[in-house]
Chains A and B, each alone.
Chain A
């Protein structure tokens, strides 16, 4: 069992007096005790002790219970990484053939269509090919703009904005018709073999084309390519950048300049994988402060920022819970009097758009703001 390697860490959460319970993104919206971090970890502890067995019911809890946002760790005095433990349990469930049906469907889609949504592979670039100039495709440049599934299928505007910024900054870059899903949703859902298949595919593409540098506007792709690939032995031999840091660099080098500022009161949402996983908090803020007339912080920001609910397949598997999580974040935006929320993640943007009900708050990606101003 994969969880055996984490037994002591699981015990720490299993015997914790619920210190992160109402912090937990999923629990605080569902309010179901079996979905609280401490109780699902206790369930794992009982499995380790032989007092409970993996089952479909356990699987249902362990998939529903965690959006992998890592907010729990930011409040934990001992810094527990609960998503790591949940991922280990999910790997056990995959090996035992006990995954819930939506997870099996996501797995099949990932292997068949190379994306987690079940959308056709042939449609991956249909939208973005209309907004990224033909000459940028497979151009032979050493810098790759890695589009990612969420941008390709649902947020082509982010790809348009990102490539236009790179273009304005005088960056020679390519987009690659061979890219596939980075593998993060599959990795977090315990589908390690599938994730590795996708990783190997991308590694081969990056190696064959000789890319020296990769830029992506998706924090999940960024985390996966920069952190998980090397840790699992998939050496890309290329620098990996998130677009926010890349924009900051272009600004510092004077290669792009803002022509004005946007009106309105704007706040910033830290995407979980850019913030808590990769600790990139300041670059997006530095850019935004230059880009907007009035910038306000949410009460809980940076490592304690609320999750938007969209990440790593959670919104695919549990869309109703994901919408509630997004609504919770949007209530925060209204409380601080912001009328626009900027994030730096295609999945967050899509989820917040799905969660908006009254249309009072507008959602943007950082790249879309920047591209308007240069």
Chain B
């Protein structure tokens, strides 16, 4: 659905300028390129290979919900794709404007509109940066409980679009658990507002229709989110298990006891021996668990005691507070490239190597099997041939299951077009392992344009339901075409 010839582009440009003002319509070639690059592997590899990136025709920065509604009405009338855009942190290509159109940058909707200390809620616009929101709440003695790796660059709207998760999601939940109400501009320009209540029995929850919709069903402009008093106590603990299985068993039993750590990250033996050792100096062999508890001191005392008892019963050895406290203090440091690590980044994002994270979620019945099979498939088919590694950790825990965060890397893959072909193949093979065992395509990044083709395999007949919903809400198919496998 290309936008069309230059005179039509000019007409649309002038209408957009009428709506948002000329300083908020970016048309520079470099702006368009940069908005497409981001930091996702695919776009950076294309740049390294000298390929032309897909680019938006216009980058528009509306300053209000009213302006967004006008833009969507224009786009719907003119049949122009609209790609809602947040902080450019997606690794899944969810905002790559592969069909051109209007890239709708929501970051000027940047107000924290109000806090209810009584009901523990904050009303926040979609373009508010996660760090800025947390900073505003911390001043008042509250926290959103949402501390993702992309804390400093991502937006609340982006997280809603991708059903995002933060480091403390085991206790505070993912985005779908944090939202009470939404305002959404529909593709045809109407504004929908859901009622911000803790619960109801009046039909399906429309919030959940839009959370995770990756901009395919409308533009989220505002959300009512839960907040929490800053905990009186936040305490961490490191435990080393003889192997991954015993660590998984311990955490399953901890969750079963209704002990809810604010965070728990269990690393497999390989990641413990490499990344954990390098980053935090933990030299023990086995599977390393770092867990934290927060809340009132009395509750934290009890939770920590029970959790450590269970760990002990599964062969876990308490390493004390230091490893966990170190992790908390330095939880973002690992992401800053250094003179050493930048060499790897240059190769990985410079068209010479391949790597990704194929995170999934499944119940305790199957998650261990998924982990082992993913690892086996990767190493047998790719790792040994192209000099690769595979490791993983488990870091978002539920009573019924857990998220697996496997990471893989190939040091010596073929170059050129074969590289991206290989990338797709690895993704395909690994997500199919998850799907075969009842897991999902993704747990906390969204699926963007990389995994859309697998949606029918996860959803079955449910995918037809999604397609019908899309057709009703977005009859002209203007909203972020291509994401979620919805064209």
Interface residues of A (CB under 8 A from B): 8, 11-12, 15-23, 28, 31-34, 36, 38-39, 42-43, 46, 51, 57-58, 60-61, 75-78, 299, 335
Contacting residues of chain B (47-79) with chain A, CB-CB under 8 angstroms: 47-48, 50, 61
Q: Which of A8, A11, A18 is the one whose CB lies under 8 Å from B153?
A: A18
Q: Which of B34-42, B227-235, B442-450 contacts its partner? A: B34-42
Bound complex: CA A8 to CA B343 (Å)? 9
Whether B31 lies near A32 (C-beta < 8 A) is: yes
Q: Which residues of A contact B385 (CB under 8 A)?
A: none
Whether B37 lies near A42 (C-beta < 8 A) is: yes
Bound complex: CA A16 to CA B37 (Å)? 13
Instruction: Select from chain A the residue with minimum beta-carbon distance to B343.
Output: A11
Whether A17 lies near B107 (C-beta < 8 A) is: no
Interface string of B142-181 (1 = CB under 8 A from A): 0000000110110000000000000000000000000000
Q: Which residues of A contact B30 (CB under 8 A)?
A: 34, 43, 57-58, 61
Q: Which residues of B contact A21 (CB under 8 A)?
A: 87, 152-153
Whether A11 lies near B88 (C-beta < 8 A) is: no
A-B contact pairs, 17 of them (CB 8 A): A8-B339, A11-B346, A12-B339, A15-B345, A15-B346, A15-B349, A16-B336, A17-B89, A17-B149, A18-B39, A18-B87, A19-B335, A31-B107, A31-B110, A42-B34, A76-B336, A78-B337
Q: Does B26 contact A (CB under 8 A)?
A: yes
Q: Does B200 contact A (CB under 8 A)?
A: no
Q: Which of A15, A31, A51, A60 is the one whose CB lies under 8 Å from B105?
A: A31
Q: Does B131 contact A (CB under 8 A)?
A: yes
Contact size range, B: 35 or more
- Known A-B contacts: A8-B339, A18-B87. Give 12 more (CB < 8 A): A15-B337, A15-B346, A18-B88, A22-B153, A28-B129, A31-B61, A31-B110, A32-B61, A34-B30, A34-B34, A299-B135, A335-B139
Whether A33 lies near B336 (C-beta < 8 A) is: no
Query: Given A32-B31, A33-B35, A33-B88, do A19 and B131 touch, yes or no (CB 8 Å)?
Result: no
Q: Which residues of B contact A18 (CB under 8 A)?
A: 39, 87-89, 150, 152-153
Q: Which residues of B contact A8 (CB under 8 A)?
A: 339, 342
Q: Which of B37, B89, B152 is the one whose CB lies under 8 Å from A20?
A: B152
In the assembled complex, the CB of A13 is this many whole angstroms from the nearest CB of chain B, namely 8
Bound complex: CA A23 to CA B108 (Å)? 16
Instruction: Select from chain B the residue with minimum beta-carbon distance to A58.
Output: B30
Q: Does B204 contact A (CB under 8 A)?
A: no
Q: Which residues of B contact A57 (CB under 8 A)?
A: 28-30
Q: Which residues of B contact A31 (CB under 8 A)?
A: 61, 105, 107-108, 110, 127
Instruction: Select from chain A the residue with minimum beta-carbon distance to B48.
Output: A51
Interface string of B311-353 (1 = CB under 8 A from A): 0000000000000000000001101111100100110010000
Whether B34 lies near A43 (C-beta < 8 A) is: yes
Q: Which residues of B contact A42 (CB under 8 A)?
A: 34, 37
Whether B37 lies near A39 (C-beta < 8 A) is: yes
Interface string of B345-387 (1 = CB under 8 A from A): 1100100000000000000000000000000000000000000
In the assembled complex, the CB of B148 is this many whole angstroms from the nearest CB of chain A, namely 11
Which 3 pairs from chain A and chain B are nearest by CB? A18-B153, A15-B345, A77-B336
Bound complex: CA A67 to CA B287 (Å)? 47
Q: Does B195 contact A (CB under 8 A)?
A: no
Whether A33 lies near B31 (C-beta < 8 A) is: yes
Q: Does B132 contact A (CB under 8 A)?
A: yes
**In this complex, which of B29, B153, B346 has the most chain A Cβ atoms within 10 angstroms of its Cβ?**
B153
Query: Given A21-B153, A22-B132, A23-B152, do A32 and B338 touch, yes or no (CB 8 Å)?
Result: no
Instruction: Select from chain B the residue with minimum beta-carbon distance to A76.
Output: B336
Q: Which residues of B contact A61 (CB under 8 A)?
A: 30
Whether B150 lies near A17 (C-beta < 8 A) is: yes
Bound complex: CA A345 to CA B50 (Å)? 47
Q: Which residues of B contact A78 (CB under 8 A)?
A: 336-338
In the assembled complex, the CB of B71 is this many whole angstroms from the nearest CB of chain A, namely 16
Q: Which residues of A contact B48 (CB under 8 A)?
A: 51
Q: Which of B35, B107, B150, B342 is the one whose CB lies under 8 Å from A12?
A: B342
Contacting residues of chain B (252-289) with chain A, CB-CB under 8 angstroms: none
Whether B107 lies near A77 (C-beta < 8 A) is: no
Whether B47 lies near A46 (C-beta < 8 A) is: yes
Instruction: Select from chain A the residue with minimum beta-carbon distance to B129.
Output: A22
Whether B28 lies near A16 (C-beta < 8 A) is: no
In the assembled complex, the CB of B141 is this many whole angstroms from the nearest CB of chain A, namely 13
Q: Which residues of A contact B105 (CB under 8 A)?
A: 31, 33
Instruction: Select from chain A the residue with minimum beta-carbon distance to B128.
Output: A22
Query: Given A8-B339, A31-B107, A34-B30, do A17 and B153 touch, yes or no (CB 8 Å)?
Result: yes
Bound complex: CA A75 to CA B333 (Å)? 10
Instruction: Select from chain A the residue with minimum beta-carbon distance to B335.
Output: A17
In the assembled complex, the CB of A335 is this many whole angstroms from the nearest CB of chain B, namely 7
Instruction: Select from chain B the residue with minimum beta-carbon distance to A13.
Output: B337
Q: Which residues of A contact B47 (CB under 8 A)?
A: 46, 51
Q: Which residues of A contact B338 (CB under 8 A)?
A: 12, 78
Bound complex: CA A32 to CA B127 (Å)? 13
